[in-house]
Chain A
Amino acid sequence: MAQVRLTGIAKAFGKVTALDAMDLVIDDGELVCLLGPSGSGKSTLLRVIGGFETPSEGTIAIDGVDVTHLPPERRPTAMVFQSHALWSHMTVHGNIAFGLKLRRLPRTEIRERVEKVLDLVGLAGYGARLPSQLSGGQQQRVALARSLVIEPKILLLDEPFASLDQHLRERLRDEVRDIQQRLGITAVFVTHGQDEALAISDRIVVLADGRMQQVGRPGEIYAEPKTAFVAGFIGAMNMLDGTLAEGEVVAGGLRLAAEGAGPARLAIRPEDIALTEPEDGRTVTVRRMIDFGSHVVIDSALADGTHLRIQTDKTIRVEAGERVGIHVEQWTVFRDGEAPSRYRSDTVRPFREVRRYA
């Protein structure tokens, strides 16, 4: 069992509060992503767990043992750094074996464990190379192997793939997820990439300004954001400022059913807007059509000029300047200090015949 329990963790650098009163339990074998924009406190939180920063307040317990004031070398954690942090004066074998040598293991056991972990990360036979002789992806695998070989209870990953290209990043994150599940190790993964967080994690912790905004499963965070920040940060979202009155929310010329009164923010996912024929009165003007291959995104303008992104079927074709009707199928209304209200339309309306490329 390897559980991490954070209780009331706060961290201040001078007058700047980096983390504020965080409570979180990460269960055994779970992969939790800390997701947030730059400066949200996600890396600081990871460094607090790893022992590189001491919290100003609160406690950290791993498997019920208080490790709040233990230095990194005495914690059962291992971190994979964004910059790989490989020691250039040591070979790949030397990098991975360093932690084992510190534990004074027999030479044969060290060699066996290094070879085993190199095999695990797909770098068998690379032991004699220097880090400078490896590609970025290979270097990151060595960094992962160096952390895994000491068999930590908690694996910490600080934006490990940020410096890699898109394809390699996707491949490596799948490999990391696979290895983490095979070993059953508890992992905390810091990223600012929402796709990465949605793809890899059991749970996501969304952070902003040093505070936890929401903790939940990826699908739950996407479908049911608890704050306007989470709604805007996770996935594409149309966020419109509006007003609630007489059972409606009015924003950017759109009128949708909603309870309450006063100022509000209307959130609509691009994929929750369907195209209809323009005669029902709720129309937009197409500004640009972006063909992603798997789907089409239409950048459109409402009557008052407010931009509205619409995601639709890959076979749909519209022209810039064309007026099309829209039908909002799901929407969420956020009001300060209140839980968000979610609405769904039952009506399904057909759109024109699909236009295909010749």
Chain B
Amino acid sequence: MTDLAPISPFDASPSAVARIARRAPVDWTGIAFLTGLAVVILLPLVVTAVWAFAEVWRFPAIVPQRMGLGYWQETLSRHDVWQALWLSLSITTTVTVISAAICFPAAYAFARLDFPGRNMLFLAFLSVQAFPKFGLIIATATIFLTLHLIGTFWGVVLIQLVGTLLYMIWIPVSAFQGVDRRLEEAARDVGASPMRVFWSITLPQALPTLFAAILITFVNTFYETDAAWLIGLPNVRTMPMVMISFINNALEVQYGAVLFVFLWVPSFLLMLAARRVMGADAFAKGFGG
């Protein structure tokens, strides 16, 4: 009988490793898929980003003839840009805070409490997204007109609150449902009251996913244009409104490109940082993953 000595992967000779590496199949389908996605998603972003720094870029040149920060200086020195930025941040923060205050307790109730009409009410919250958004805004605008909310800060806040319901209820419901009941039972077992269990166990366990909901809501609200345009104008001009007017009215695309980079880079970095801190599973859990 022959004794067979198994080779540990760690002890394998370099030639054996090289042989295994050579045999590894190349996933051409995956590479093609990835390349397609990169072209569709990244190419427009890269082109727009290059436009933001291009002072001269005429056809048929593939790269700009002259690069510089001229358009940045011109755009960022405008008073209305900074005013719109602070207004957008104020509206977005207000909407996110109010939405969290309303939606998180509601989400906890949907996730943990058993009350009559629970499923119907939950569906009603989510059904806001089932209708064409523009129609909903117009219908709301007619009501706001009688309430003198058109063109006001609180009018925009209220209409944008409606748009946050989906993420601020759906994701937190999954977050609270995802907290293992036994963790809460273990806390009660060592003497914690139900309220203490919520603050010390349930909330910290759900927090990463709740942060994901807050982040998605903040970013979505910041870039929201339809409601801000119909309810806010002419008095309330948010940052995306200013960007659209730049793109529509200016002959040079660089103004719009500058604002695009100006708005996109911070939120992209914020998303990256959040994903690193919270982990991908916080986002996945929010969608029932």
Taking Cβ atoms with an 8 Å cutoff, the residues of A that contact B are: 50, 52, 71-73, 77-79, 81, 83, 85-89, 98-99, 102-103, 143, 146-147, 150
Task: Check A78–B196 contact: CB distance below 8 A.
Answer: no
- Nearest A residue to B203, CB-CB: A89
Task: Check A147–B183 contact: CB distance below 8 A.
Answer: no
**Most chain A beta-carbon contacts within 10 A, residue among B185, B190, B193, B201:** B190
Chain A positions within 8 Å of B117 at CB level: none
Task: Check B205–A103 contact: CB distance below 8 A.
Answer: no
6 additional contacts, CB 8 Å, given A72-B189, A83-B180? A77-B189, A98-B187, A98-B192, A143-B186, A146-B190, A150-B190
0/1 string, B175-217, CB within 8 A of A gives 1: 0000010110111111111001000110011000000000000
Chain A positions within 8 Å of B182 at CB level: 81, 83, 85
Task: Check B196–A102 contact: CB distance below 8 A.
Answer: yes
**Most chain A beta-carbon contacts within 10 A, residue among B182, B186, B200, B205:** B186
Chain B positions within 8 Å of A87 at CB level: 183, 186-187, 201, 204-205
Majority-rule SS of B interface residues: helix
CB distance from A91 to the nearest CB of B (A): 13
Q: A83-B182, A102-B196 are in contact. Are A89 and B191 (CB under 8 A)?
A: no
Within B154-187, the residues touching A (CB, 8 Å) are 180, 182-183, 185-187
- How many angstroms from the CA of A87 to the CA of B187 in the assembled complex? 9
Task: Check A50–B187 contact: CB distance below 8 A.
Answer: no
- How many angstroms from the CA of A52 to the CA of B191 in the assembled complex? 13
Task: Check A50–B189 contact: CB distance below 8 A.
Answer: yes
The one of B180, B193, B204 in contact with A85, judged by C-beta atoms closer than 8 angstroms, is B180
- How many angstroms from the CA of A88 to the CA of B196 in the assembled complex? 17
- How many angstroms from the CA of A146 to the CA of B201 in the assembled complex? 15
Task: Check A147–B189 contact: CB distance below 8 A.
Answer: yes
- How many angstroms from the CA of A299 to the CA of B190 in the assembled complex? 50
CB distance from B87 to the nearest CB of A (A): 37
- Nearest B residue to A47, CB-CB: B185
The one of A81, A89, A146, A150 in contact with B204, judged by C-beta atoms closer than 8 angstroms, is A89
Chain B positions within 8 Å of A81 at CB level: 182, 185-186
10 pairs, A vs B, C-beta closer than 8 Å = A72-B185, A72-B188, A81-B185, A85-B180, A85-B186, A87-B204, A89-B205, A98-B190, A99-B190, A150-B190
- How many angstroms from the CA of A85 to the CA of B204 in the assembled complex? 14
Task: Check B191–A103 contact: CB distance below 8 A.
Answer: yes
Chain A positions within 8 Å of B183 at CB level: 85, 87
CB distance from A72 to the nearest CB of B (A): 4
- How many angstroms from the CA of A103 to the CA of B193 in the assembled complex? 12
- How many angstroms from the CA of A86 to the CA of B190 in the assembled complex? 12
Task: Check A73–B186 contact: CB distance below 8 A.
Answer: no
- How many angstroms from the CA of A157 to the CA of B192 in the assembled complex? 19
The one of B193, B201, B205 in contact with A73, judged by C-beta atoms closer than 8 angstroms, is B193
The 10 closest A-B pairs by CB, nearest first: A99-B190, A85-B186, A85-B182, A102-B191, A89-B204, A72-B188, A73-B191, A73-B188, A79-B189, A81-B182
- How many angstroms from the CA of A73 to the CA of B190 in the assembled complex? 6
- How many angstroms from the CA of A12 to the CA of B92 in the assembled complex? 51
Q: A73-B191, A89-B204, A102-B191 are in contact. Are A79 and B186 (CB under 8 A)?
A: yes
Chain A positions within 8 Å of B185 at CB level: 52, 72, 79, 81, 85
Chain A positions within 8 Å of B186 at CB level: 79, 81, 85-87, 143, 146
- Nearest A residue to B182, CB-CB: A85
The one of B191, B193, B204 in contact with A99, judged by C-beta atoms closer than 8 angstroms, is B191
CB distance from A62 to the nearest CB of B (A): 14
Task: Check A73–B189 contact: CB distance below 8 A.
Answer: yes
Chain B positions within 8 Å of A143 at CB level: 186
- How many angstroms from the CA of A87 to the CA of B189 in the assembled complex? 13
Chain A positions within 8 Å of B189 at CB level: 50, 72-73, 77-79, 147
- How many angstroms from the CA of A87 to the CA of B200 in the assembled complex? 10
CB distance from A173 to the nearest CB of B (A): 21
- How many angstroms from the CA of A145 to the CA of B238 in the assembled complex? 56
Task: Check A98–B200 contact: CB distance below 8 A.
Answer: yes
- How many angstroms from the CA of A72 to the CA of B189 in the assembled complex? 5
Within B91-121, the residues touching A (CB, 8 Å) are none
- Nearest B residue to A75, CB-CB: B189
Q: A85-B183, A102-B196 are in contact. Are A78 and B205 (CB under 8 A)?
A: no
- How many angstroms from the CA of A102 to the CA of B186 in the assembled complex? 13
CB distance from A67 to the nearest CB of B (A): 14
- Nearest A residue to B208, CB-CB: A89
Chain B positions within 8 Å of A150 at CB level: 190-191
- How many angstroms from the CA of A164 to the CA of B184 in the assembled complex? 23
CB distance from B259 to the nearest CB of A (A): 40
- How many angstroms from the CA of A85 to the CA of B184 in the assembled complex? 8
Chain A positions within 8 Å of B180 at CB level: 83, 85
Chain B positions within 8 Å of A77 at CB level: 189
Chain B positions within 8 Å of A147 at CB level: 189-190
CB distance from A158 to the nearest CB of B (A): 9
CB distance from A203 to the nearest CB of B (A): 24
- How many angstroms from the CA of A77 to the CA of B190 in the assembled complex? 8
- Nearest A residue to B207, CB-CB: A89
- Nearest B residue to A146, CB-CB: B190
Task: Check A102–B190 contact: CB distance below 8 A.
Answer: yes
Chain A positions within 8 Å of B193 at CB level: 73
CB distance from A216 to the nearest CB of B (A): 29
Chain A positions within 8 Å of B196 at CB level: 102
CB distance from B184 to the nearest CB of A (A): 9
CB distance from B206 to the nearest CB of A (A): 10
Task: Check A102–B205 contact: CB distance below 8 A.
Answer: no
- How many angstroms from the CA of A89 to the CA of B102 in the assembled complex? 26
Task: Check A88–B205 contact: CB distance below 8 A.
Answer: yes
- How many angstroms from the CA of A1 to the CA of B284 in the assembled complex? 50
Chain B positions within 8 Å of A103 at CB level: 191
- How many angstroms from the CA of A154 to the CA of B128 in the assembled complex? 52
CB distance from B201 to the nearest CB of A (A): 6
